[in-house]
Chain A
Amino acid sequence: MSLVNLFAQGVLLGGYYALLACGLSLMFGVMRIINLAHGDLAILAAFLVFSISDAFGLSPFLSLVAVLPIMAAVGWALQRGILERSLRSGMLVPLLATFGLSIALQNLLFEAYGADTRSLGDMIGDLVFDSYEVTSQFSVSYLAALIFALAAAVLGGLSLFLKYTSLGRAIRATAEDPDTAELVGINARAVYAVAAAIAVATVALAGTMLAMRATFDPYSGPMQLIFAFEAVVIGGIGSLWGTLIGGIVLGLAQSIGAAFDPKWFLLAGHLTFLVVLALRLFRDWARARGGLRSSLGLRG
């Protein structure tokens, strides 16, 4: 039974990683930008939710409703103000721009909020520890289940949106070939800004969920970026459903690692990421040499 419990916790944790990675995956898939400020934007959203809830005594869930459009606007402005300009100068410049943004955000948050570690856990009442007890050794936390459901809804909703709506088609067309998209009447720059707005709004969701289930401080962002990046790479770059799988694999690896020794929690995740990455590189290497067998010299 504890094995079932272990798996269930791993999968639920994976839901959080998938939610976190969704925006990174979307921005990479559409604009070919790896947003190094991804984690810091999540933390920014967490602080915004914290501030609104603290000032008005609101539930963080209500504050989140107010923060979502704010963060969407941040994403839109980020694309229009910084990324669009930097994209014109090739691949490296957007990477550097978001790296700079990451450092700036961390230090601005430090200026504004200080070094204290905070959590939204004490603002959501019993939800933070309530769980559904299946057996004495297997229980499912309401919050973890809620986060997983949210991740599935966001990823599923985004997939449907991209597939079946006019704007979704425009985003996919622009992702494939922005110049040709313009030639069929799609305003590629506006589409990019919309995609960035959606991506950063999902980051805000993830940041708020992190702040409810754990603690955060102004420098928590980079670790979240690493988790998101690992989930995206494990799941296959640019695929939304792959991102869900990647998040789950990462969550499982960490939970299983931690079951052997709590110190292994992070290490098991990183190792899984490295193994998947190595396998991918090996597969590409083998493919370039006409398949696995011939590349290993097993075929005359």
Chain B
Amino acid sequence: MSLLAVDRLDVRHGLLHAVREVSFAVDEGEIVALVGANGAGKSTLLRAIAGAHLPSGGGIAFDGADITSMRAYNRVAQGIALVPEGRRLFGGMSVEENLKAAMRVGRRGYWTLDKVMELFPMLSARRDALAGNLSGGERQAAAIGRALMTNPRLLLLDEVSLGLAPVVIEQLYRSMRNVLQGGATLILVEQELTRALSVATRVMCMLEGRIVLDGPAEAMSRDQIVDAYFGLHRAARGRA
């Protein structure tokens, strides 16, 4: 049985039909890179899985149980954690308080305050700093750390490298390999194709709200992904 099963999911933002009849399943241990152009519906899809957006149609099942109408905080308790786009830290609270805020859900496991600090040494130095005063890389590390504190079985990462310096992105991705030690399944949205392919076992590409390409990372050529990214495959088939 798959960990996550999304069935003909429709999500709307007012008039905008952001996610259109998307279906896919993710098995435990997979690392899925969700790629696509801006506005393809990647973030909306992640937010719908996390419960931040309620879908207008279709269903989501997690570990065999239907969670389509479950509220976000309850999904965290089930083991779904989202690192939202833009980090969204609690700026008036310290780094440590931000991490501890995620402990309320009470999912004990591999990740503890110490383990997260060990994973991101740059955070342990700024433990007592207000989250609002952190640099971009520190913010992203804190946001990932905060999600890990809930010991998720499914970790959704939205735009990890957005707005960060290449050196910092490198650092974060090196830590990311250790994130997998906690045993989480990963879906990551990433603009940077090379980065995404460096960790992913599977690639899904979205275009205009639909998944247009889905397969194991090693079986996929870069050109194939780029074609799907811009919708060129349709032109090639003469359907554009």
Q: Interface code B80-124, partner A: CB below 8 Å = 1, 0 otherwise?
A: 011010001011110001101111110100000000000000000
Give the residue of A166, A176, A180 whose beta carbon is less than 8 angstroms from that of B100. Answer: A166
Give the residue of A170, A176, A182, A186 whose beta carbon is less than 8 angstroms from that of B52. Answer: A182
Give the residue of B71, B91, B92, B105 whose beta carbon is less than 8 angstroms from that of A184. Answer: B105
The CA of A184 and the CA of B81, in the complex, are separated in Å by 7
The CA of A167 and the CA of B97, in the complex, are separated in Å by 12
The CA of A179 and the CA of B73, in the complex, are separated in Å by 10
On chain B, the number of residues with a Cβ less than 8 Å from chain A's Cβ atoms is 30
The CA of A166 and the CA of B96, in the complex, are separated in Å by 12
Q: Which of B147-164 contact A (CB under 8 A)?
A: 147, 149-150
Asked whether, in the complex, the Cβ of A183 is within 8 Å of the Cβ of B101, the reply is no
The CA of A185 and the CA of B100, in the complex, are separated in Å by 11
Q: Interface code B42-79, partner A: CB below 8 Å = 1, 0 otherwise?
A: 00000000111000000000000000000111101100
Asked whether, in the complex, the Cβ of B52 is within 8 Å of the Cβ of A184, the reply is no
Asked whether, in the complex, the Cβ of B88 is within 8 Å of the Cβ of A177, the reply is yes
The CA of A91 and the CA of B73, in the complex, are separated in Å by 24
The CA of A184 and the CA of B150, in the complex, are separated in Å by 7
Asked whether, in the complex, the Cβ of A183 is within 8 Å of the Cβ of B90, the reply is no
The CA of A172 and the CA of B94, in the complex, are separated in Å by 11
B146 within 8 A of A: yes
Cβ of A170: which chain B residues have Cβ within 8 Å of it? 101, 104
Asked whether, in the complex, the Cβ of A182 is within 8 Å of the Cβ of B51, the reply is yes
Asked whether, in the complex, the Cβ of B76 is within 8 Å of the Cβ of A184, the reply is yes
Q: Which of A171-225 contact B (CB under 8 A)?
A: 172-173, 176-177, 179-188
Nearest-CB residue, chain B, relative to A172: B93
Q: Interface code A152-174, partner B: CB below 8 Å = 1, 0 otherwise?
A: 00000000000000110110110
Cβ of B92: which chain A residues have Cβ within 8 Å of it? 172, 176
Give the residue of A169, A176, A182 whose beta carbon is less than 8 angstroms from that of B73. Answer: A182
The CA of A290 and the CA of B104, in the complex, are separated in Å by 42
The CA of A143 and the CA of B100, in the complex, are separated in Å by 41
Given contacts A183-B84, A185-B76, contact A176 B91 (CB under 8 A): yes
Asked whether, in the complex, the Cβ of B101 is within 8 Å of the Cβ of A173, the reply is yes
How many inter-chain contacts with C-beta < 8 Å in the A-B complex? 76
Cβ of A169: which chain B residues have Cβ within 8 Å of it? 93, 97, 100-101, 104
Asked whether, in the complex, the Cβ of A180 is within 8 Å of the Cβ of B84, the reply is yes
The CA of A75 and the CA of B50, in the complex, are separated in Å by 31
The CA of A180 and the CA of B77, in the complex, are separated in Å by 15
Expressed in whole angstroms, the minimum distance between the Cβ of B149 and any Cβ of chain A is 8
Nearest-CB residue, chain A, relative to B74: A187
The CA of A114 and the CA of B71, in the complex, are separated in Å by 46
Nearest-CB residue, chain A, relative to B71: A182
The CA of A142 and the CA of B235, in the complex, are separated in Å by 86
Cβ of B146: which chain A residues have Cβ within 8 Å of it? 184
Cβ of A182: which chain B residues have Cβ within 8 Å of it? 51-52, 71-73, 76
The CA of A186 and the CA of B73, in the complex, are separated in Å by 6
Asked whether, in the complex, the Cβ of B93 is within 8 Å of the Cβ of A188, the reply is no
The CA of A186 and the CA of B71, in the complex, are separated in Å by 10
Nearest-CB residue, chain A, relative to B86: A180
Cβ of B76: which chain A residues have Cβ within 8 Å of it? 182-185
Expressed in whole angstroms, the minimum distance between the Cβ of B90 and any Cβ of chain A is 5
A residues at B contact (CB < 8 Å): 166-167, 169-170, 172-173, 176-177, 179-188
In the complex, the 9 A-B pairs of residues with the closest C-beta atoms, listed nearest first: A185-B105, A185-B76, A182-B72, A184-B102, A180-B88, A173-B101, A182-B73, A176-B90, A187-B73
